[in-house]
Amino acid sequence: MQKQGKEYIVFPLDFSSLKETRDFVKMLDGQVGMFKIGLELFIDQGPAVVKMVKEMSGARIFLDLKLHDISATVQRAMARVADLNVDLVTVHCSSVSMLKKAVDGGQGKTGVLGVTLLTDNDAAMVDAAGFKNDFVDDLQKLVMLRARMAKDAGCTGIVCSGNEAATIKKRFGPSFLAVTPGIRPKWAVLKDDDQKRVTTPGQAVKLGSDLIVIGRPIKDADDPVKAAQMVAAEIDSAVSE
Ligand code: C5P
């Protein structure tokens, strides 16, 4: 059966209050495929918030912890996350051995998504961090090297921009997930938007994204349910073209 448009949608629960979190989970249950819980909410509420979202909805859970530590610690942290029945967790692509241990810790219950290069890192920052000129001159090279590390370690996929998704799918195959933030439907008008290299939901899935992370265009809409439905409809029509 073909994947439905709404199954591509990951809605980030970027809230500091439990009330808002609960309101949005209730509202969007059945409209999106996944809820993303980030550091702000997880640090504030702890594992209880994962349990709450799971009890309130049938959507899958993406815990955006961006882990980075010695391999043994990451493995043990991942084992705790797997016990929470979380579906996906982010881990920085810093070494294949750490990523492998993260995958082991997930015990086949929780998949690892590699973080290649944070979008606020520019060439000057990569240079200052001591990387070779090759990578400083072409940040995409660094993204692809790190995606290769994630693939070799047995990760489920990586987080990447819509524009990188096509290359990722071509190089690493259809089952290696490309998860894409920076999604802006044409109709979304946001105040002070900080996302720069954006793609529409339709463009992202056409380029090969398996999951799109889309927050403010849905959260700040007058009718978030309708906004989520419009995103899903756009994806449905893009995949059937
Ligand atoms: O759609 P919106 O910009 O509101 O989505 C923001 C969400 O996407 C946040 O949860 C943020 O952590 C996540 N994200 C991002 N850019 C990245 C990776 C993740 O905006 N490169």
Q: Mean pLDDT throughout 218-231?
A: 97
Whether the CB of 114 sits within 6 Å of ligand 1: no
Residues 127, 124: Cα–Cα separation, whole Å: 5
What was the pLDDT predicted at 77? 98
In the Cβ-directed half-sphere of 43, how many Cα atoms lie within 13 Å? Answer: 8
Q: Where residue 70 falls among pLDDT bands split at 50, 70, 90?
A: very high
Q: Which residues of 29-57 are buried (b: 16+ CB within 10 A; e: fewer)?
A: eebbbbbbbbeebbeebeeebbebbbeeb
CATH of the domain at 127: 3.20.20.70
Which residue among 6, 19, 26, 66 is the active-site one?
66
Residue ranges of the alpha helices (H) in the chain?
18-28, 39-45, 47-56, 71-83, 96-106, 123-128, 133-137, 139-152, 162-172, 201-207, 216-219, 224-240
Whether the CB of 14 sits within 6 Å of ligand 1: yes
pLDDT in tens, 153-211: 999 999 999 889 999 999 999 999 999 999 999 999 887 777 777 899 999 999 999 99
Whether the CB of 182 sits within 6 Å of ligand 1: yes
Q: Is the per-residue pLDDT at 46 higher than 80?
A: yes
**179 contact partners, CB below 8 Å, separation of at least 6:** 10, 88, 113, 157, 158, 159, 160, 209, 210, 211, 212, 213
Residue ID of nearest Cα to ligand 1 atom 14: 181
Containing domain of residue 214, as a range? Answer: 5-240
Domain count, the chain: 1
If you average pLDDT over every residue of the chain, what do you get? 95
Query: Which of 13-22, 95-104, 144-153, 183-192 comes out lowest in average pLDDT?
Result: 183-192
Q: Is the per-residue pLDDT at 2 higher than 80?
A: yes
Residues 63, 193: Cα–Cα separation, whole Å: 24
pLDDT in tens, 124-153: 999 999 999 999 999 999 999 999 999 999
Q: 213, 218, 220: which to mutate for ligand 1, most atoms within 8 A of CB?
A: 213
Q: Mean pLDDT throughout 228-241?
A: 96
